[in-house]
Amino acid sequence: MSSAERQLHLNLFILDTGHHEASWRLPESDPLAHIDLAYHQNLARIAEAAAFDSVFLADAPALWGDVGQRPSGRLEPILLLAALAGATSRIGLIATASTSYNDPYNLARRFNSLDHLSGGRAGWNIVTTAGDAAARNFGLEAQPAHAERYERAAEFLEVSARLWDSWQDDAVVADKERGVHALAERVHPIEYAGRFFRVEGALNVPRSPQGHPLLVQAGSSESGKDFAARWAEAVFTAQLTLAEGQAFYADVKRRAAAFGRDPEHVKILPGIVPVIGDTEAEARELEAELDRLIRPEFAQRQLAGLLGLSPEQLPLDQQLPADLPEEELIEGAKSRYTLIVELARREQLTARQLIARLGGGRGHRTFAGTAEQVADTIEEWFRHGAADGFNIMPAVLPSGLEVFAERVVPILRERGLFRTEYTGRTLREHYGLPRPANQFVTA
Amino acid sequence: MSSAERQLHLNLFILDTGHHEASWRLPESDPLAHIDLAYHQNLARIAEAAAFDSVFLADAPALWGDVGQRPSGRLEPILLLAALAGATSRIGLIATASTSYNDPYNLARRFNSLDHLSGGRAGWNIVTTAGDAAARNFGLEAQPAHAERYERAAEFLEVSARLWDSWQDDAVVADKERGVHALAERVHPIEYAGRFFRVEGALNVPRSPQGHPLLVQAGSSESGKDFAARWAEAVFTAQLTLAEGQAFYADVKRRAAAFGRDPEHVKILPGIVPVIGDTEAEARELEAELDRLIRPEFAQRQLAGLLGLSPEQLPLDQQLPADLPEEELIEGAKSRYTLIVELARREQLTARQLIARLGGGRGHRTFAGTAEQVADTIEEWFRHGAADGFNIMPAVLPSGLEVFAERVVPILRERGLFRTEYTGRTLREHYGLPRPANQFVTA
Ligand SMILES: Cc1cc2nc3c(=O)[nH]c(=O)nc-3n(C[C@H](O)[C@H](O)[C@H](O)COP(=O)(O)O)c2cc1C
Ligand SMILES: Cc1cc2nc3c(=O)[nH]c(=O)nc-3n(C[C@H](O)[C@H](O)[C@H](O)COP(=O)(O)O)c2cc1C
């Protein structure tokens, strides 16, 4: 492998017993895995042994969907990653947190703390949180409008960035002789006053190894892509076809350049749900076996909710109603809505068929095939302007991760696409990104 | 040791390189210990090897005091304890969090998550947070009045308790055959609407091993003691003399009984800063050596701030001004204010002398002596109605903890006062407290 060759990035998206919603029903699955530390330690260690860039946990501050359907209720992800920090030493740790239902002082501090605890391995998947359920846990009747949520997110990031820089890197002098621990003139109250937030500062923790956590984002609406282009260093996205993936990739890179950023400093990671068999037929049978375990009445309620319908408006053996609203009118997860509706229309799927398609990846691309075929599709997207890396979303965990690490990763290495061992220490170094300078220091 | 004998409880209060504000200046001290995971893992392991009930971390969501004076800025404590959960297996993990500057949904979830991650070892030191600095990090001009902060705290606890109970213990059935993970009828939205909070619920995590974290409190004002009597299972307190300790102990137990609670279910833990030498003289010399390292101009600013004065109003070699306000007029930490003012008046201390007295324990009792003498005073308070255990606050860490574990703990064991090994699994079991029942289940 030539060291100059562009390298692929791999993130493990951990979700309970796997991304297929029926994975917990398999004999091998522990249905209490989602609240078990040892289970997550094991996953993180497998991913680290394969030199993955990072692991990632999704989140929302509300109970989602049907508690019968699948393991529901999750441990708070920043805490879970703090517990994993001690069990790992190199892999990056990316947690989701909402800008709509947090205070910037507390949240900026928690990511700073995770970065200290992990020696510079923290990442933040910034979300605005769709849905009224979350809003109603925080004193509101309904969620703020989509545009309003993104405006708050923008201000949240402004405040956070200032807090993360409020201690200069050289503020702590630890001069025992003179009895001076830090220099007050190198610690800056931020004195922020905006539309959503007023924060005096400074942060109550010194600057962290990475300066601030790696910023990750996954919004795909217009506001979402602009936000990503302004702030994100890595972008998670759900893309079903190569052409769509290429269009999204080009779009975000162009927007980043328009913000004056180096497009190489925004890494695009589409999701893939790899279902791997010794033959393609075996992989497809694995997939079908999982789909048979989906209980359609649960999935019907969930899909109806996402489309803003009642379950009765969504008969299982008919196609979607013709009069669904336009994306502009959706205040929830706009782009996911569009993706699902377009998929159903394009392939003329009944609700039942759509549910099976979504059961694996909820809109992410499921790819059933041999290890070689999985490596081929990864390489294809990577070489043809659709991806800088992938968000690996195994249908079943831990087995789907183990198979990926044992069979696909070696092929990617042989092709010179993926590292054989870590070359950097911090999460940002894994992604080949520069450490952010401190805005309070001009030198 | 007879198993029927009442047992002492020991909590380690971890603070940077020790509770003496100049401890970081000693040659042995690592001035970056406060942001170092390995340092905290080591302390927790020493305390666990000595079978301490718990470790504890203080907190405020603001930068306190002078950054020059001592290590300042701390890692967010719930996160730090999550990182320690994996490095320990038995010791309890108590984090401070503020009811004034958090949302109950997020915070209740974080303590639930810590309890899951640690297998039932989470505790919450509930504070209302004194001071305007914190308020100004959360959009306010100044802190809410003392009474208002405690009213919010009461409602915060109501909401949290309901959230912690929102999943019945038997809600998760994990029936793979039928494809039902949890029973919706055993998960209860809380539908809370009060003066400070409106929360729909349910929590997005199943009930945790302890049901909810051990509730700890440290307010000593009238409102603080009532709050403790209503909610707290363990109370931290600063008491300088045996007589004061006895009065506080009787007072809180009486208030708990008045709330219909078993007074034995509220454990009172005064703080002690043990400075241990081979002889009493050696211990005193150790203490004096530390006091000489205090920089009086830093301490003067800090003490003035606590008393609501400017540094100029507090000349170092004079006694405190005669016209200090009454406790009723203090909106900050009322009881600590009174304790300090009374100490200065009683012993007719100059500001400089008072600073030396406070440098060790900031109002907690410093006790310099031999291991035998430290064990004697612990036993005395324990047997004479002033303590159910102690909050151990070593002046220097880790050495002060090591000496305590090696020399004082064996004496307490010989006297039948302290366990030789853990007998329980959860934090509440260590403290001899019952697991809370779920309010949604009457059976
Ligand atoms: C891989 C991936 C992970 C996501 N994780 C979360 C999450 O944890 N929490 C959340 O609220 N939204 C999550 N989202 C949703 C996005 O943040 C975003 O809300 C959604 O894609 C709709 O885009 P929009 O907000 O721009 O309309 C995720 C999206 C993707 C593609
Ligand atoms: C051992 C101990 C630890 C404390 N830790 C904290 C803390 O971490 N954060 C905080 O804001 N207050 C802390 N306090 C202060 C108390 O919560 C309380 O505010 C103070 O004793 C004044 O009492 P009052 O609030 O009833 O006036 C602590 C007090 C004691 C005795």
Quick: pLDDT tens for A214-247.
Answer: 999 998 889 999 999 999 999 999 998 999 999 9
Quick: pLDDT tens for B199-239: 999 999 999 999 999 999 998 889 999 999 999 999 999 99
Which phi-psi region, left, alpha or beta, contains residue A432 (left: φ > 0; alpha: ψ -120 to 50)?
left
Centre of ligand 2 to C-alpha A118, Å, is: 29
Averaged pLDDT for residues B358-380: 89
Centre of ligand 1 to C-alpha B388, Å, is: 50
Residues of B in contact with A293 (CB under 8 A): 179
pLDDT of res. B360: 65
* Rounded distance between C-alpha atoms, residue A439 and residue A108, angstroms: 16
* Rounded distance between C-alpha atoms, residue A343 and residue A363, angstroms: 9
pLDDT of res. A357: 80
Percent of chain A residues topping a pLDDT of 70? 98
pLDDT of res. A327: 75
Please give the span between the terminal C-alpha atoms of chain B, in angstroms, as a whole number: 38
* Rounded distance between C-alpha atoms, residue A207 and residue B33, angstroms: 15
Q: What DSSP letter does each residue of B50-101 carry, written as one string?
A: TT-SEEEE---SS--S-TTTS------HHHHHHHHHTT-SSSEEEEEEESSS
SS3 A289: helix
Averaged pLDDT for residues B304-316: 88
Amino acid (one-letter) located at B254: R
* Rounded distance between C-alpha atoms, residue B274 and residue B369, angstroms: 8
pLDDT of res. A443: 46
pLDDT bucket at A4, cuts 50 / 70 / 90? low
Residues annotated within a binding site of A for FMN: 59, 96, 146, 150, 220-221
Quickly tell me which residue has 């297929």 as its tokens: A20
Nearest bound ligand to the CA of residue B216: 2
- Given a cut of 60, is residue B402 above it in pLDDT? yes
DSSP code, position B349: -
pLDDT of res. B353: 87
Centre of ligand 1 to C-alpha A431, Å, is: 21
* E strand or H helix that includes residue A133: helix A132-135
Which residues does a 6 A CB cutoff place in the pocket of ligand 1? Answer: A 58-60, 96, 127-130, 218-221, 224, 236-238, 271, 333-336, 391
* Rounded distance between C-alpha atoms, residue B127 and residue B124, angstroms: 9
Among the residue ranges A61-75, A349-363, B105-119, the one predicted with the least confidence is A349-363
Rg (C-alpha) for chain B, rounded Å, is 22
Query: How many Å lie between the alpha carbon of B187 and the closest alpha carbon of chain A?
Result: 8
Query: C-alpha dihedral over A372, A375, A381, A383, to 10 degrees?
Result: -100
- CA B330 to each of CA B304, B338, B362, B441: distance values in angstroms, whole numbers, following the listed order: 14, 10, 18, 43
Atom 9 in ligand 2: residue holding the nearest Cα: B59
| Phi (first) and psi of residue A264, to 5 degrees | -70, -15
Averaged pLDDT for residues A18-42: 96
Q: Which of B14, B127, B235, B249 to mutate to test the pocket of ligand 2 (most atoms within 8 A of CB)?
A: B127
pLDDT of res. A1: 40
Residues of B in contact with A188 (CB under 8 A): none
Q: Hey, are the CB atoms on B64 and A204 less than 8 Å from each other?
A: yes
Averaged pLDDT for residues B7-21: 96
Higher pLDDT, residue B94 or B329 = B94
* Rounded distance between C-alpha atoms, residue B431 and residue B424, angstroms: 9
Percent of chain B residues topping a pLDDT of 90? 82
Q: Which of B25, B68, B110 sits opposite A184 (nearest CB)?
A: B68
Which residues does a 6 A CB cutoff place in the pocket of ligand 2? Answer: B 58-60, 96, 127-130, 218-221, 224, 236-238, 271, 333-336, 391
* Rounded distance between C-alpha atoms, residue A154 and residue A170, angstroms: 28
CATH tag for A9-278+363-430 (out of 3.20.20.80, 3.20.20.30, 2.40.30.30, 3.90.1150.10): 3.20.20.30
Interface with chain A: mutation pick from B74, B79, B109, B180, highest number of A CBs within 10 Å = B79
pLDDT bucket at B247, cuts 50 / 70 / 90? very high
SS3 B104: helix
Q: Structure tokens of B432?
A: 């001899």
Nearest bound ligand to the CA of residue A269: 1
pLDDT of res. A219: 80
Residues of A in contact with B200 (CB under 8 A): 133, 136-137
Q: What DSSP letter does each residue of B313-330 carry, written as one string?
A: GS-TTSBPPTTPPPGGG-
Averaged pLDDT for residues B186-208: 97
- List, in sequence order, every residue forming a beta bridge with A392; answer none if it has no partner: A12, A272
- Given a cut of 60, is residue B176 above it in pLDDT? yes
Interface with chain A: mutation pick from B21, B75, B129, highest number of A CBs within 10 Å = B75
Are the CB atoms for B42 and B397 separated by under 8 Å?
no
Averaged pLDDT for residues B97-119: 98
Angle between helices A222-231 and A242-258 (to 10 degrees): 60
Query: C-alpha dihedral over A203, A205, A210, A215, to 10 degrees?
Result: -40
Higher pLDDT, residue A257 or B341 = A257
| Contact pairs from chain A to chain B, CB under 8 Å | 217
B96 burial via Cβ count (<10 Å: 0-12, 13-18, 19+): buried
Angle between helices A104-117 and A146-164 (to 10 degrees): 50
Q: Structure tokens of A7?
A: 């390298």
Q: Hey, are the CB atoms on B73 and A32 less than 8 Å from each other?
A: no
Q: Which of A116, A133, A198 sits opposite B75 (nearest CB)?
A: A116
Nearest-5° Cα angle at A386, A385 to A392 = 140
B189 burial via Cβ count (<10 Å: 0-12, 13-18, 19+): middle
Quick: pLDDT tens for A138-151: 999 999 999 999 99
Centre of ligand 1 to C-alpha A100, Å, is: 13
Considering only alpha carbons, which residue of chain B is nearest residue A297?
A: B179
Q: What pTM was computed for the model?
A: 0.95
Question: Cβ atoms within 10 A of the Cβ of A410, count?
Answer: 15
Q: Structure tokens of A239?
A: 């893309």
Quickly tell me which residue has 């400074």 as its tokens: A202
Atom 28 in ligand 2: residue holding the nearest Cα: B218
* Rounded distance between C-alpha atoms, residue A398 and residue A393, angstroms: 11
pLDDT bucket at B2, cuts 50 / 70 / 90? very low
Residues of B in contact with A355 (CB under 8 A): none
Centre of ligand 1 to C-alpha B147, Å, is: 41
SS3 A136: coil
Interface with chain B: mutation pick from A106, A118, A297, highest number of B CBs within 10 Å = A106
Q: Which of B61, B72, B201 sits opposite A182 (nearest CB)?
A: B72
pLDDT bucket at A66, cuts 50 / 70 / 90? confident
DSSP code, position A109: H
- Given a cut of 70, is residue A360 above it in pLDDT? no
pLDDT bucket at A306, cuts 50 / 70 / 90? confident
- Given a cut of 60, is residue A424 above it in pLDDT? yes
Are the CB atoms for B248 and B384 separated by under 8 Å?
no
Tell whether residue B188 is among the known ligand binding residues.
Answer: no
- Given a cut of 50, is residue A117 above it in pLDDT? yes
pLDDT of res. A2: 43
Are the CB atoms for A11 and A431 separated by under 8 Å?
no
Considering only alpha carbons, which residue of chain A is nearest residue B194?
A: A139
Closest by alpha carbon to B12, among B374, B441, B398, B412?
Answer: B398
Q: Are strands A172-175 and A180-182 parallel, antiparallel or unpaired?
A: antiparallel
Amino acid (one-letter) located at A243: A
- The answer, yes or no, to whether the previous bond of A398 is cis (omega within 30 of 0) is yes
Among the residue ranges A36-50, A421-435, B300-314, the one predicted with the least confidence is B300-314
Residues of A in contact with B80 (CB under 8 A): 82, 113, 117
* Rounded distance between C-alpha atoms, residue A388 and residue A355, angstroms: 29
Nearest bound ligand to the CA of residue B130: 2
Averaged pLDDT for residues A356-366: 76
- Given a cut of 80, is residue B329 above it in pLDDT? no
Amino acid (one-letter) located at B86: G
Closest by alpha carbon to B183, among A68, A33, A298?
Answer: A68
Nearest-5° Cα angle at B219, B240 to B337 = 55
Centre of ligand 2 to C-alpha B406, Å, is: 29
Q: Which of A66, A113, A200 sits opposite B79 (nearest CB)?
A: A113
Quickly tell me which residue has 């008969």 as its tokens: A315
Amino acid (one-letter) located at A39: Y
DSSP code, position B143: P
Are the CB atoms for B390 and B396 separated by under 8 Å?
no
Q: How far is CA A407 from the centre of its chain?
A: 24
Q: Hey, are the CB atoms on B82 and A79 less than 8 Å from each other?
A: yes
pLDDT of res. B307: 87
Question: Cβ atoms within 10 A of the Cβ of A421, count?
Answer: 6
pLDDT of res. B250: 98
- The answer, yes or no, to whether the previous bond of A104 is cis (omega within 30 of 0) is no
* Rounded distance between C-alpha atoms, residue A210 and residue B11, angstroms: 34
Mean pLDDT for chain A overall: 94
- Given a cut of 90, is residue A285 above it in pLDDT? yes
Are the CB atoms for A404 and A274 separated by under 8 Å?
yes
Q: Structure tokens of B291?
A: 């006091």
Atom 29 in ligand 1: residue holding the nearest Cα: A218
In our burial notation (b when 16+ CB lie closer than 10 A, e otherwise), range A359-392 reads: bbbbbbbbbbbbbebbbebbbebbeeebbbbbbb
- Given a cut of 90, is residue B126 above it in pLDDT? yes
Residues of B in contact with A117 (CB under 8 A): 37, 75, 79-80, 83
Closest by alpha carbon to A234, among A193, A265, A192, A212?
Answer: A265
- CA B326 to each of CA B308, B322, B342: distance values in angstroms, whole numbers, following the listed order: 12, 11, 11
Q: Hey, are the CB atoms on B204 and A179 less than 8 Å from each other?
A: no
pLDDT of res. A19: 94
* Rounded distance between C-alpha atoms, residue B145 and residue A286, angstroms: 62
Query: How many Å lie between the alpha carbon of B323 and the closest alpha carbon of chain A?
Result: 32
CB-facing half-sphere around the CA of B92: CA atoms within 13 A:
31
Nearest bound ligand to the CA of residue B306: 2
pLDDT of res. B443: 46
B343 burial via Cβ count (<10 Å: 0-12, 13-18, 19+): middle
pLDDT of res. B361: 65
Q: Hey, are the CB atoms on A179 and B79 less than 8 Å from each other?
A: no
SS3 A309: coil
pLDDT of res. A358: 79
Q: Hey, are the CB atoms on A83 and B32 less than 8 Å from each other?
A: no
Higher pLDDT, residue A366 or B209 = B209
Query: How many Å lie between the alpha carbon of A104 and the closest alpha carbon of chain B?
Result: 8
